[in-house]
Amino acid sequence: MADKILRSSGLKPGMLHGIVVSSTIDAGFILKTTIPELDSRFLTITAKDIPGSQTIDILEDTIRVFASTTIEYLGQPMMALFGPDSESVEVKARDIEVEYQLPGSDKNLLLKRLAERNKSFSMSWGNIDTTISQSASFVEGTYHDRRKSFTPSKMDYARCFLTDRQLKVEIATQWPFHVRQVVANVCGKPIEDVIVIPQPYFTTRDEYMVNSSLFAAIAALAAVKAKRPVQLNYRRQSWKPAYTIKRKTFLDAEKHPIAEDISVMVDQGAVPLFSKELFNQMCAGLIPNYPLQALSIKLEAAVSEQEPAAFCGDLGYTAAIFSTEAHVSALAEDAKLNPAIWRLKYYTDNQFKEQTIATLPISKLKDLIEQVCSQSDFARHNAVYDLQRKGKKPLSIFLNYSRGIALSCAAGMSGFSTEFPLLDKFSISLTLEANDRVIINSSHSPTEEVLELWKKLVIREMGVGADSITLVDGDTSALIDSGPTVLLEDITRTGTMILACCNAIKKRRFKDPLPIREQISVRQVAPKGIPLFSSGYWGVLVLELEVNAVTLQVEVRHVWCRLSFASAQDKEALTIACRRTIISTIRDYKALLSFEKGTETEIDIFIEDQGKSVSPSSAYQALKGMIMAALYSALSQALNKDLVTLPVTGDDIIDLLRKSE
């Protein structure tokens, strides 16, 4: 992480060490908790010890700090135990007995209560029923992105200690100012008396978004009650939401799409966090690039008995792109057209889509499709694999080739929508001091790559040296609230804000006395209204794979990728980031890459910089969705069977073959 992150103060004399005792059932009631005899060295924290709020507030949603009588999800915190050292605490914790009452006949009541917390959203245009009645045929598909769990390899910690009136918290967090607010609310303290010192972290799952606030609050309660420094150790499993997307496209007599009905079910666990924003993000990916007379999108954010899901890099945009592009390939197959030809024929600028996401011209996307298809010889490969697919009996699928190739494309997107209610509260500042020294103040914790990008923007606009640019080094008493470091906000939006600050300073430079300080909120660069999102690049890729006849494992042979950015600040760094995203996504979805000489998987990436004076864009979300769609479509071609779920395992392949008997 960047140098601005303060390092931990370390262990302190008299520090208490603690762990959280969590539920071992996913639903039920706590009848009795038996705690072993504890001497004065130990301390317990339960819901009864909370002087302030019993819940963590995240927009309109809440998460209970501790379960008191009812268990809502597996792993829900019930209490915390602190003692002189972690070993003795763990020993004592093993002797804590919790007597549960399973739901039994009350199960339906609990499920009904969960269902009542589901959230539904919808959007549409045109008259869907009338248009459907005029259709001649339809193509439908179900696209399921499974819920996945991730267990951290190491323990995390929250340290808290009192100094005079102040309560200081050391914790790895993607949203330090939310941690501060939660600790103040739960402990019943004025917010100015709580200081959060962010600690270094690395995440690709966004597990430090909400978990940090929860465990910081528990540690803070112990510090206040014991009046001693405490360290709470925890290792919490993170979950990726499950997405089930059903699409039904209605066609006229000439196979032109005229209407589409889309329904989405998202399992976010016990609390559907950021559900309205999730709907906006998914709509940006669900609305296709082909014109429709009518469209209906309905989304239900469902509550389940699992831990609240983490962002895991996005809020549904990748799953939406996956379903959209995989469905386009199915439409092309139904029309008996090459998937690239179908896209070139039907993709066009769409006023309804542009109200959700403003993209670069569709003509640029078509240019990229033609270029990547030429580079990969897509037409020939697709024709050969398609003929082989149609000429095989399902159970003879591995006698010859079991290969597939697929095309997918998408517009890049990052950051919250312009409707996100907190954008006016998130900001950064730049200060120009003597000797051309520039200070950036932001609560984001940039990686070295992102920090380098920020510096390049300042150097380009202000003409200062790289060594004269520094970040504010401090805690929440010195930092500005820039919002959570998620959805790649620290690249696109923060880049735009840095440019705005630079331009404002340049107008005052050589006129006003130093220091000159400018502060810009996200809302100032992302006014509320239409479009909800803006895209800074188009991406197209072709993926070729093979199913191993012996192991039934999916092996990726070649990936061709072309990306056109309105502004590519560092093409080399972008290429490395894109390659990393391609490799990690392929692995996440259980496909294999070869690195053996002579048979290694080839990944060809070309990045075009249009050289426009705009903020940089991130390739992550769209590129991940494109890989998912291409994996799905290429594997469907290789197996001669329409898939439903990603990732696909060997057992899934066997089940598909058995169903073909």
Give the mean pLDDT of 6-35.
87
Strand ordering across the sheet containing 119-125: 119-125, 294-302, 257-267, 242-251, 137-145, 645-646
Q: Six-digit token pair at 343?
A: 């896209």
Quick one: pLDDT at residue 165? 87
The reply to whether omega before 272 is within 30° of 0 (cis) is: no
Give the mean pLDDT of 277-295.
98
Quick one: pLDDT at residue 615? 74
Cα dihedral 201, 202, 206, 210 in deg (nearest 10): -10
Does the 423-525 domain belong in CATH 3.40.50.300? Answer: no
**Which residues face 243 on adjacent strands?**
145, 266
- Calpha distance 640→656 (Å, rounded): 10
- Calpha distance 96→104 (Å, rounded): 24
On average, the pLDDT of the chain sits at: 92
Quick one: pLDDT at residue 660? 62
Identify whether the C-beta of residue 492 lies closer than 8 Å to the C-beta of residue 315.
no
The reply to whether omega before 647 is within 30° of 0 (cis) is: yes
Q: Six-digit token pair at 45?
A: 């924290």
Which three-class secondary structure state does DSSP give residue 112? helix
Span(s) in the chain for CATH 3.30.365.10: 316-415+533-659, 423-525
**Which residues face 403 on adjacent strands?**
546
Quick one: pLDDT at residue 1? 35
CA–CA distances in Å: residue 98 to residues 94, 215, 236, 314: 11, 21, 20, 37
Nearest to 525 by CA among 516, 517, 534, 515: 534
Identify whether the C-beta of residue 305 lies closer than 8 Å to the C-beta of residue 111.
no
Identify whether the C-beta of residue 174 lies closer than 8 Å to the C-beta of residue 485.
yes
Q: Which architecture characterizes domain 316-415+533-659 according to CATH?
A: 2-Layer Sandwich (3.30)
CA–CA distances in Å: residue 205 to residues 151, 152, 154, 238, 645: 10, 10, 14, 7, 21
Is 602 buried (19+), middle (13-18) or exposed (0-12) by CB count in 10 A?
Answer: exposed
Quick one: pLDDT at residue 6? 47
Q: Give 393's pLDDT tier (boundaries 50, 70, 90).
A: low
Q: Six-digit token pair at 147?
A: 């819920």
End-to-end CA distance of the chain: 54
Quick one: pLDDT at residue 141? 97
Looking at mean pLDDT, say which of 15-19, 446-450, 647-651 comes out highest: 15-19
- Which residues are within 8 A (CB) of 644 and not within 5 positions of it... i.e. 6 or more apart? 142, 143, 144
Query: For 495-551, how does the pLDDT look when each residue is reduced to its tens digit (9 = 90+)?
Result: 999 999 999 999 999 999 999 999 999 999 999 988 999 999 999 999 999 998 888
The H or E element containing residue 185 is helix 176-187
Quick one: pLDDT at residue 548? 86
Is 467 buried (19+), middle (13-18) or exposed (0-12) by CB count in 10 A?
Answer: exposed
Identify whether the C-beta of residue 409 lies closer than 8 Å to the C-beta of residue 621.
no
| 344 CB neighbour count, 10 Å cutoff | 15
CA atoms within 13 A on the CB side of 114: 24
- Calpha distance 353→35 (Å, rounded): 58
Give the mean pLDDT of 318-324.
98
Residue 229 has pLDDT above 60, yes or no: yes
Give the mean pLDDT of 231-257.
96
- Calpha distance 97→37 (Å, rounded): 12
Quick one: pLDDT at residue 394? 44
CA–CA distances in Å: residue 658 to residues 105, 393, 394, 645, 654: 38, 12, 9, 16, 6
Quick one: pLDDT at residue 5? 42
Q: Six-digit token pair at 255?
A: 């196979």
Q: Rounded to 5 degrees, what angle do the CA atoms 50, 56, 62 make?
A: 125
- Calpha distance 392→398 (Å, rounded): 9
Model pTM above 0.85? yes
Quick one: pLDDT at residue 392? 58
Residue 73 has pLDDT above 90, yes or no: yes
DSSP state of 424: G
Query: For 561-608, how does the pLDDT look when each residue is reduced to its tens digit (9 = 90+)?
Result: 999 999 988 899 899 999 999 999 999 999 999 888 888 999 999 999
| Pairing outcome for strands 194-199 and 166-172 | parallel
CA–CA distances in Å: residue 374 to residues 192, 331, 545, 556: 61, 22, 18, 20
Quick one: pLDDT at residue 473? 86
Largest CA distance in the chain: 81
Which three-class secondary structure state does DSSP give residue 74? coil
Quick one: pLDDT at residue 658? 76
Residues 365-403 as b/e (b if ≥16 CB within 10 A, e otherwise) read: bbbbbebbbeebebeebbeebbebbeebeeeebbeebbb
Give the mean pLDDT of 169-181.
98
Quick one: pLDDT at residue 8? 61
Give the mean pLDDT of 273-290.
97
**Strand locations in 383-532, DSSP E?**
403-411, 427-433, 437-441, 469-471, 516-521
Identify whether the C-beta of residue 422 lies closer than 8 Å to the C-beta of residue 569.
no
Which three-class secondary structure state does DSSP give residue 415? coil
Q: Give 106's pLDDT tier (boundaries 50, 70, 90).
A: low
The length of the chain is 661
Backbone angles phi, psi at 577, to 5 degrees: -65, -40
Which three-class secondary structure state does DSSP give residue 19? strand
Query: For 190-214, how does the pLDDT look when each residue is reduced to its tens digit (9 = 90+)?
Result: 999 999 999 999 988 899 999 999 9
Query: For 349-392, how does the pLDDT look when each residue is reduced to its tens digit (9 = 90+)?
Result: 988 999 999 999 999 999 999 999 999 999 999 999 988 877 65
**Strand locations in 146-225, DSSP E?**
148-150, 156-163, 166-172, 194-199
Q: Give 657's pLDDT tier (boundaries 50, 70, 90).
A: confident
